Amino acid sequence: MTTTHDLQQVEEANATGRTPVVFVHGLWLLPSSWDRWGELFAEAGFAPVALGWPDDPETVEEANAHPEVLAGKTVGQVADHIADLIAKLDKQPVIVGHSFGGLLTQILAGRGLSAASVAIDPAPFRGVLPLPISALRSASPVLSNPANRHRAVPLTFDQFRYAFANAVSEDEAKELYETFAVPAPGAPLFQAAVANLNPWTEVKVDSDNPDRGPLLIISGEKDHTVPWAIANASYKQQKDNPGITEIVEIPGRGHALTIDSGWREVAQTALTFVQRFV
């Protein structure tokens, strides 16, 4: 289902005549988590488009009040939903995604839909083998119960602190939790967990497509959810592509690096990469 808000953003981007930058959020966040990034990219001459997953509520309050609307979304369903919206853009966009949004960014780039892409702490795809203990612990609130595959699962503050906000102060962690955290569909985590055992998985990336375009992978040094081992393994899968592939580690940063008080450094790193090509 496409929200009116998404279509409105697409129309507004087309009206500017500028290159669109499509922002793709991951689990436990909403499109509004990209608001400050959108302003930065708009100032740089791009048209920001923060697209939702199917049925995303407009606000964090709404998402927390009605978690059931978030349940049951799969990686393939979300990728197709965003691809359909991208097809409505007049210009080929830049795609920037975080976490599962970083995985979706690589899936969409692998379909040749992106002029340049930035995948920030991206969730792993088929062929990415490392499984660090911290990543398992971060995913355990969902994976510990098979019934969660069909549910939307919220994180407690302590779970959010470990998985997202381990590299910021307690006060900032609480503020981030209250401002941004929403329940997340369990299905994508179950899909990712078995991607290497399932040849038909939706959690796969065409890393060889010559139309993939330039790709930057950004890794937060202290990320528990997608540690360097996972980000670097994704880079190794991608680096044989004819397009430029780069990886950068941002010191001292956890999984909340796109939303915490240091967001601008990460956004500027992404913007500087994109401006080399677009």
Given a cut of 90, whether residue 82 has pLDDT beyond it is yes
Alpha carbons 6 and 62: distance in angstroms, whole number = 17
Joined tokens for residue 270:
């992404």
Joined tokens for residue 133:
């203990």
More reliable by pLDDT, 170 or 131:
170
Q: Where are the domains of the chain?
A: 4-275
pLDDT of residue 4: 87
pLDDT of residue 3: 77
pLDDT digits (tens, 9 = 90+) for 141-189: 999 999 999 999 999 999 999 999 999 999 999 999 999 999 999 999 9
pTM: 0.97
Quick one: average pLDDT of 216-241?
Answer: 98
The residues that bridge with 22 in the sheet, in sequence order, are 49, 95
pLDDT of residue 180: 98
Pairing of strands 47-51, 20-24: parallel
Alpha-carbon dihedral angle through residues 270, 35, 96, 16, given to the nearest 10 degrees: -100
pLDDT digits (tens, 9 = 90+) for 16-52: 999 999 999 999 999 999 999 999 999 999 999 999 9
Asked if 258 and 165 touch (Cβ cutoff 8 Å), the reply is no
Band of pLDDT at residue 2, cut at 50, 70 and 90: low
pLDDT of residue 125: 97
Quick one: average pLDDT of 45-71?
Answer: 96
Asked if 201 and 126 touch (Cβ cutoff 8 Å), the reply is yes
What architecture does CATH give domain 4-275? 3-Layer(aba) Sandwich (3.40)
pLDDT of residue 121: 98
